């Protein structure tokens, strides 16, 4: 993880180069996200998709005919929802987590008709900024805070949802860019970093949580 974080200055320089090389592209769309993995006992998480959005900018750096590096800066909402039982009561929960992400995709844009096909993949790094959790049980509702930290101490409040701030993973995307600069894009995302923090006092915690999701977006390149 430290090696990935050390690449952050290089990713920011690449983003600046991309914005100056081929102009600015704007992109916004809808996400369908989930949190997959294992709970503390090692059992598979049974979460459901939650809808969110993404919005931001990107640039393009030509590296070969029809091939580009496409660095970006995006704000994206992730999370999950689930239903379970606590003390015999059915409880529905919904997590909403806001991340600032830096994707760096390798994109192939061959000519197709009057526009260009878009095919790409690449890594991203993300940093948790915002978050909240909603719990519903019958007529009782509660809003809980989300806090980003790597280690949860025994003295920390237990009515808070905790996550590691740092996230990283891979993107795969496909779409079409029209001659006027408008584009439509489908994407899928696989988180490769455990976002579950370490809990002090729990000796055999098998928890491992990863973001996964897919979405669609519209864009325009100036």
What are the two backbone dihedrals, phi and then psi, of residue 21, each rounded to the nearest 5 degrees? Answer: -80, -50
Q: Residue 128 in contact with residue 148, Cβ under 8 Å?
A: yes
Q: Which of 154, 149, 156, 161 is nearest to 197 (CA)?
A: 149
Single pTM value for the model: 0.86
Give the residue-averaged pLDDT of 134-143.
Answer: 83
pLDDT for 6 equals: 55
What pLDDT was estimated at residue 20? Answer: 58
d(C-alpha 135, C-alpha 218), whole Å: 33
Convert the pLDDT of each residue in 105-115 to its tens digit. Answer: 999 999 999 99
Query: Dihedrals φ, ψ of 71, to 5°?
Result: -80, 150
- When mean pLDDT is compared over 16-25, 131-140, 161-170, the highest value belongs to 161-170
What burial class does residue 100 get, using C-beta atoms within 10 Å of its C-beta: 0-12 exposed, 13-18 middle, 19+ buried?
middle
The whole domain housing 72 covers 2-221
Can you give the CATH number for the domain in which 94 is found? Answer: 2.40.160
pLDDT of the residue at 87: 64
The domain total for the chain is 1
């Amino acid at each position: 993880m430290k090696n990935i974080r050390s690449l952050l200055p290089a990713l920011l320089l690449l983003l600046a180069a991309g914005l100056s090389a081929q102009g600015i592209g704007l992109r916004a769309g809808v996400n369908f996200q989930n949190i997959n993995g294992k709970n503390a006992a090692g059992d598979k998480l049974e979460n459901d998709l939650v809808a969110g959005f993404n919005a931001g900018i990107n640039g393009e750096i030509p590296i070969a005919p029809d091939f580009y590096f496409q660095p970006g800066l995006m704000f994206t909402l992730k999370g999950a929802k689930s239903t379970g039982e606590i003390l015999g009561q059915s409880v529905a929960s919904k997590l909403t987590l806001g991340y600032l992400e830096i994707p760096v995709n390798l994109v192939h844009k061959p000519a197709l008709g009057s526009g260009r096909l878009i095919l790409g993949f690449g890594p991203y790094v993300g940093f948790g900024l915002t978050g909240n959790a909603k719990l519903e049980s019958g007529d009782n509702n509660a809003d809980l805070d989300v806090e980003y930290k790597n280690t949860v101490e025994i003295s920390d409040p237990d009515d808070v949802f905790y996550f590691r701030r740092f996230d990283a993973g891979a993107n795969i995307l496909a779409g079409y860019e029209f001659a006027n600069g408008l584009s439509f894009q489908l994407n899928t995302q696989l988180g490769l970093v455990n976002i579950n923090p370490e809990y002090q006092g729990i000796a055999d915690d098998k928890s491992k949580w990863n973001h996964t999701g897919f979405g669609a977006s519209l864009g325009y390149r100036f």
